[in-house]
Amino acid sequence: MNVADLTGLPDGVPEHFHAQGIEELYPPQAEAVEAGITEGESVVASIPTASGKTFIAELAMLSSVARGGKALYIVPLRALASEKKEEFEEFEQYGVSIGVSTGNYESDGDWLASRDIIVATSEKVDSLVRNGAKWIDDLSCVVADEVHLVNDAHRGPTLEVTLAKLRRVNPDLQTVALSATVGNAGEMADWLDATLVDSTWRPIDLRKGVLYGQALHFDDGTQQELARGNEKETAALVRDTLEDGGSSLVFVNSRRNAEAAAKRLADVTKTHLTDDERRDLLDIADQIRDVSDTETSDDLATAIEKGAAFHHAGLASDHRSLVEDAFRDKLIKVISATPTLAAGVNTPSRRVIVRDWRRYDGDIGGMQPLDVLEVHQMFGRAGRPGLDPHGEAVLIAKSHDELQELFDQYVWADPEPVHSKLAAEPALRTHILATVASGFAGTEEELLDFLERTLYATQTDETGRLETVTQHVLDYLDRNGFLERDDRLRATGLGHRVSQLYLDPMSAAEIIDGLRDADGKPTALGLYHLVSRTPDMYQLYLRSGDRERYTEIAYEREPEFLGHMPSEFEDNAFEDWLSALKTARLLEDWASELDEDRITERYAIGPGDIRGKVETAQWLLNAAERLAAELQRDDAEGIPSATTTAVREARKRVEYGVEEELLDLAGVRNVGRKRARRLYEAGIESRADLREADKSVVLGALRGRKKTAENILENVGRQDPSLDDVEADAETAATSARATNDGGQQSLGDFE
């Protein structure tokens, strides 16, 4: 089928595709068109990565928009939202408008309603439905990317329930689900009343193989000799690709391994760089160091100078995009990564090496082989269409037996079927409340009827399981005052609040208990601990020695904690409580202006983890504040206003990462925790001071950076922000330099 044969698209779009060099549709794309994708028919496309899924989505959405409709594209990760937005923006010239909505990147609500195509995460869509966004009713087409995610115990149910709700709101909704090749795509097609397009076709050839000793065995029966002295397998593979002019992606099973591998592989890549590349890499390394001055950041920069990099969730997001971009530009020759990269933004590579195919799993306390689906996702990163002759995906065997095992287990194996995880109690807790609160079900029958529309219902034969769990969950929600049940189901004011705030009801219950328990003004640590022990916060892991260390802190600061502290003999409960304490201490350190590198060192985490924890804490404390307000309204006991004030203060402190006295200053744009502290030390203690203060003192406190200082003065609304002819005050500058060195001396005493 030819692009010119496509009908139903906005004017100019077929020509646009043609100009892009797309003439003949790929077979799966043609199949999707035959299934009626441009005529509003629902389709489930189960096809490999990089075989033109986005194009299928575009056909569905653009034709829908051409008919006067509105399309929604659901992405699994925030990072993918902006990537997709950029791809779709090329259609703006044909009158199609694009909008994005994710938690950290919100376009104005009304503005969003006027967009033709909206890109959002599944959680954001869920939240928009809960909050009654009007434009949801106008949708004519929804595309769900990476639907196999319904298999994920944590985030899968959200996608599942969201799709069910969207289809319920609009029964004529065209549903397009894009999935990796999975074992049971047919079941998903049944669920969504869609035509199945199931194909393993790829635009460029993918050779899969296993390395054992010196021999690389491929699935087509060929073998390649890989000369290596005492070089490690991975290094030899990377070198071989490099000599062939290609780059490699190495998947390993822990962050530490990723960092260690990058360090070692840098010795291989450094001998394969041109002078130009070396210069560009130095520049990128500098940018990396600018992102954060932690050890992780420095290690990454050092590796990048030599043409290698690591990639994992402990990196700041700026780190990640710098690495991804430089890899796409072929400057970085190899990335060693944890699975973040397999699911993340598009980073294709000539060769993919899956070094570790087992991963530690805390639930069973040992190593567990990766899912076939996961390994295939990693494989799918091999080969850049149009650039590489073919892609290569390689596993590494340590014995002859393992060679055969890996072929059977991953190379030849079909991916597992995906299974709905909806029937788990934590998932239902939040979704049942939301379903009732946003009016999708007014009785238990209606609720069960709604749940019948989920993938879970189409997959299970086991009757009664869902009913039983639903009863448990309803009891729980009733008991905690989130809903009332007689012959009907009704969410209480509190229940509505919890649903809108996107909280797990269990988190809300924990927070409410804690706030009720507070008498007087709770401390920041107490509040950080409270939110850290909710199920919505990922807790830090207790390492050796931590148990003793935090037990001691727990007793020292016992009066500060809200709610009941489990006894030391309730093993699991106590451990969890201590993990939360460790997390709370991190937040307290951050809010006490402790340097980023000290924090990463103390908790053995990366700069990205600090941002993540801080962001979550901010969100949960905001929720706590609103819950307190809600209780004030319909509860005789209420929450004392001193508590609410303390919550707000704790949230602001964690948001800016500063002590209380800097809150005013840190709110000024371009003034972060460090600059605020320097200004304060120079005697400028508030925004008002900043507007009045001697300019040379301001400049001195900001270490003579004129441009920055002018911006800041402008942002704070100073009449005449110009700093021409102003010299930095020498004494202030000297003090400022000192203040930076031992800044954040508070609360250092407890360790080492």
Give contact residues for DNA (rule: CB under 7 A): 77-79, 82, 100, 102-108, 120-121, 123-124, 127, 131, 152, 154-155, 253-257, 259-261, 264, 312-314, 338-340, 343-344, 356, 358-362, 364-368, 398, 500-502, 536, 538, 541, 543-544, 604, 609, 612, 615-616, 618-619, 622-623, 626, 651, 669
Separation in Å, CA 445 to CA 162, 167, 243: 20, 19, 65
Q: What is the DSSP code string of 463-496?
A: TTHHHHHHHHHHHHHHHTTSEEESSSEEE-HHHH
Q: Between 51 and 618, name the residue whose CB sits nearer to DNA.
A: 618
Q: Between 108 and 727, name the residue whose CB sits nearer to DNA.
A: 108
Separation in Å, CA 655 to CA 622, 717, 748: 11, 23, 21
Q: Report in angstroms how near the CB of residue 369 gets to DNA at its nearest.
A: 8
Q: Report in angstroms how near the CB of residue 159 gets to DNA at its nearest.
A: 10
Q: Between 253 and 292, name the residue whose CB sits nearer to DNA.
A: 253
Q: Report in angstroms how near the CB of residue 646 gets to DNA at its nearest.
A: 16
The label of the residue with tokens 């599944």 reads 122
Q: Between 219 and 615, name the residue whose CB sits nearer to DNA.
A: 615
Q: Report in angstroms how near the CB of residue 119 gets to DNA at its nearest.
A: 11
Residue pair 454/469 in contact (Cβ under 8 Å)? The answer is: no
Structure tokens at 161: 């329930």
Q: Between 35 and 304, name the residue whose CB sits nearer to DNA.
A: 304
Q: Report in angstroms how near the CB of residue 508 gets to DNA at its nearest.
A: 12
Burial status of residue 745 (CB atoms within 10 A of its CB: 0-12, 13-18, 19 or more): exposed
- Helix (H) or strand (E) holding 588, with range, is helix 571-590
Residue pair 444/474 in contact (Cβ under 8 Å)? The answer is: yes
Residue pair 665/679 in contact (Cβ under 8 Å)? The answer is: yes
Q: Which residues contact 505 (CB under 8 A, 6 or more apart)?
A: 429, 430, 433, 476, 477, 480, 482, 495, 498
Q: Between 256 and 328, name the residue whose CB sits nearer to DNA.
A: 256
Would you call 193 helix, strand, or coil by DSSP?
A: coil
Q: Which residues contact 454 (CB under 8 A, 6 or more apart)?
A: 160, 161, 164, 191, 420, 422
Q: Between 250 and 474, name the residue whose CB sits nearer to DNA.
A: 250
Q: What distance in Å separates the CA atoms of residue 554 and residue 578, rounded to the nearest whole number?
A: 8
Q: Which residues contact 561 (CB under 8 A, 6 or more apart)?
A: 525, 526, 529, 554
Burial status of residue 18 (CB atoms within 10 A of its CB: 0-12, 13-18, 19 or more): middle
Q: Between 410 and 502, name the residue whose CB sits nearer to DNA.
A: 502
- Selection from 459, 454, 495, 496 nearest residue 478 by Cα: 495
Q: Report in angstroms how near the CB of residue 445 gets to DNA at its nearest.
A: 29
Q: Report in angstroms how near the CB of residue 725 gets to DNA at its nearest.
A: 27
Q: What is the Cα 553 distance to its own chain's centre?
A: 32
Q: Report in angstroms how near the CB of residue 458 gets to DNA at its nearest.
A: 24
Q: What distance in Å separates the CA atoms of residue 157 and residue 190, rounded to the nearest whole number?
A: 18
Residue pair 498/508 in contact (Cβ under 8 Å)? The answer is: yes
Q: Report in angstroms how near the CB of residue 254 gets to DNA at its nearest.
A: 3
Q: What is the DSSP code string of 447-464?
A: HHHHHTTSHHHHH---TT
Q: Between 59 and 396, name the residue whose CB sits nearer to DNA.
A: 396
Q: Which residues contact 545 (CB under 8 A, 6 or more apart)?
A: none
Q: Report in angstroms how near the CB of residue 444 gets to DNA at its nearest.
A: 27
Q: Between 43 and 599, name the residue whose CB sits nearer to DNA.
A: 599
Q: Report in angstroms how near the CB of residue 467 gets to DNA at its nearest.
A: 27
Q: Between 131 and 696, name the residue whose CB sits nearer to DNA.
A: 131
Annotated binding residue 746: no
Q: Report in angstroms how near the CB of residue 355 gets to DNA at its nearest.
A: 8
Residue pair 269/320 in contact (Cβ under 8 Å)? The answer is: no
Q: Between 412 and 541, name the residue whose CB sits nearer to DNA.
A: 541
Q: Which residues contact 84 (CB under 8 A, 6 or more apart)?
A: 54, 73, 75, 119, 145
Structure tokens at 660: 């209380």
For the chain, how long is the longest CA-to-CA vector? 80
Q: What distance in Å separates the CA atoms of residue 140 and residue 198, rounded to the nearest whole number?
A: 24
- Please provide residue 212's backbone torsions phi and psi, each rounded to the nearest 5 degrees: -135, 120
What DSSP designation does 202 have?
A: -
Q: What is the Cα 282 distance to its own chain's centre?
A: 29
Q: Between 46 and 377, name the residue whose CB sits nearer to DNA.
A: 377
> HSE-up of 628 (CA within 13 Å, CB side)?
23
Q: Report in angstroms how near the CB of residue 178 gets to DNA at its nearest.
A: 17
Please give the annotated binding residues, written as ranges. 29
Please give the annotated binding residues for ATP, written as ranges. 29
